[in-house]
Amino acid sequence: MMSPLIRIVFCMKVPVGLTDASSCLETLPKCARLLERTSAGEYPTTTRSDRFIAAWGHPTMKQNRFIPNQLPLRIREAPHKRGEVLVYDALLEQLNHKQRDWVMVYSANWMAKRHRNEPPRIGETDFLLAHPEHGLVIVEVKGGQIEFEGEQWYSRDKGGRRHEIDPFQQVGRNAYELCWKFEQMKRWDGGSEKDKYARWVIFPESVTPRNAVFPPYYDQAMVTDLDGMPNIVDELLKACRFWYGGSWQHPAAPHACDLLIDLFGKPRTFTLPLAETAKEDSARIEKLTDSQFAVIAAISRCPRAAIAGGAGSGKTWLARKRAVQLADEGFKVLLMCKSIPLAVHLEQTTDRHDQLTICSYKDLLRRLDPDSEQISDDEYAWTLASFISDHPELAFDAVFVDEGQDFNKEEWPFVESLLGTEKAGIFYVFYDDNQQLSNRDTELPANLVPVQLEDNVRTTRAIHKDMSRFYKGNQEQRPQGPPGRHVEQANSEGNLPKKVREVISDLLKAERFQESDIVVLTPLETTLSTLSDLSLADGRSLRVAPEPNGKDVLLASVKDFKGLEKPVVVVGELDQLPTDEAERRRILYAALSRAKSHLILIDLPKNEFA
């Protein structure tokens, strides 16, 4: 039988210059190194010869990094994105075949502030590429037929419409704005030297007009057209050589790729406990749906937005992700909500950051002024706004409000005052647009760009089916989770404490959940609940505030648990639901939507799901 090493040699195409057996034998040490790297998982285990040829000349190089690693379908199907898709596919294929150590970011968007009282400046570019030796490249793509007439550039789309363009000024402006962003992050030596950034313009669907006149600061080496697309990597390297000469000597070169990954592609993970029996449903790699990708793209270039979605649409996850990202970029950020339990949860599950404050609205004044006295609800908003006015240095660059439907119209001006007297910062409101959550419509501040989340990415499809009965929002939610178990209904037969003990015992012993995976919810205040401090098996109890890593199980009111989640939710005392129909539906919607993997309803009235 042929050895693995010999099989690798024979499955390769013979590289240029290896024409006889002795030459081939000389390559065996190199093949051995390749085999070692393949066994370690550094290269994919495949017999495709082109993969080995790509690796042949770069046995010690890393893989390229593409952000995102694939384009969403909505991008590929958008007619006005055709040119960008062509460039993305060409770069991805040819870089993987010819080069290593590149980072490529598609549709890079950023915000930067030069001065405290100025609004954030928005920057964006079609592509950013970085390589530790070749340099940083800012790319502007113009699709369609390119024309030049009377000192003006035009792009003609498939419908025959002609649009004025100025790709050279645009890519130069992007370079200027990007240098401010890097300077704000304080991680880019020489970041203010915008001439250190290579600029590259691509016309992927058209040849360059023969009569074109380039700006005096531009050169043909900075432009690639349809004829250059089959060799786009060679064109990229030509642009790098034009700007940087033989090699990139910028002080930031060694960490340029890491900086782009941190800014545009670093995953933010927040650890949540998972039950053993729910791992198939929950332990999937957390990735953005097309809907969430659109939201991230939208708000990254919009300083004021209102993001709406039902329970499970990922509002809190997105708010925290973007807040942490802006804090990493040097912004002073506030993430707040009205719910104290939700604020505590967010703070406990997010790494501490000097630039990020996470707290409830009522706790904010004490955070800013530890010596402040207890203030009544009627005076709180005025006192908070006055304090920020007297201490403008404590104002925030960005304010994120989660569960925005809990705020009323009169409170918003005071919330916005947290951005300082000019209100020139970044302001995002995330809210549940379920019209059945309140007797009043959610009234938001003016001039917020509306953004809609359409997917339920948290719960199983089985849970989504039942909770959606109580949802009436701007957009019907699409379930994206796994099928999951059916929603379980149990009858206490008049002895609720006994039934709760049995249910929790079964979850812990037979189903092998952990105590921290479970919450028991009640529509009542916990002080009025018959389940408060209920003794369970093996010395456990139901507690409103169980010790971390302890044996007790959490008991919470539906109201206090709003915005939070657990793998398993048990809902009891449903015979105590209010008689008002609208209020009953609000409570059931909030209760059912807290479960990620399994939901158990005890004593649910028969007509509730009718």
Task: For the chain, list the domains and their CATH numbers.
Answer: 65-265 (3.40.1350.10), 270-300+459-609 (3.40.50.300), 302-453 (3.40.50.300)
Q: What is the pLDDT of residues 177-205, one digit of tens each?
A: 888 888 777 666 554 454 568 899 999 99
From 111-125, 147-161, 204-218, the region with the lowest mean pLDDT:
111-125
pLDDT exceeds cutoff 70 at 77: yes
From 75-84, 261-270, 361-370, 442-451, the region with the lowest mean pLDDT:
261-270
**pLDDT, position 302:** 85
- Dist. CA 89–CA 566, nearest whole Å: 40
pLDDT exceeds cutoff 90 at 19: no
pLDDT exceeds cutoff 50 at 24: no
Q: What is the pLDDT of residues 334-346, one digit of tens each?
A: 999 999 999 999 9
What pTM does this model have? 0.67
Q: What is the pLDDT of residues 46-66, one digit of tens each?
A: 333 333 333 333 333 468 999
* Chain CA centroid to CA 441, Å: 28
* Chain CA centroid to CA 263, Å: 12
- Dist. CA 477–CA 467, nearest whole Å: 11
Per DSSP, the three-state class of 587 is helix
Assess whether the previous peptide bond of 605 is cis (omega < 30° from 0): no
Tokens 């402040």, residue?
372
Instruction: Provide the token pair at 365.
Output: 């004044």
Q: What is the pLDDT of residues 525-574, one digit of tens each?
A: 999 999 999 999 888 999 998 888 788 999 999 999 988 999 999 999 99
Contact 129, 141 (CB under 8 A): no
Instruction: Provide the token pair at 369.
Output: 């002024």
Mean pLDDT value across the chain: 81
Q: Which amino acid is at 76?
A: R
Q: Which bin fits 9, alpha (ψ -120 to 50), beta or left (φ > 0)? A: alpha
Strand 449-452's sheet: what is its strand order? 356-360, 333-337, 398-401, 426-431, 304-308, 449-452
- Dist. CA 198–CA 140, nearest whole Å: 11
**pLDDT, position 358:** 97
**pLDDT, position 361:** 95
Instruction: Provide the token pair at 305.
Output: 């937005």
- Dist. CA 562–CA 173, nearest whole Å: 45
Q: Tell me which residue of 114, 30, 556, 585 sits closest to 344, measured CA to CA.
A: 556
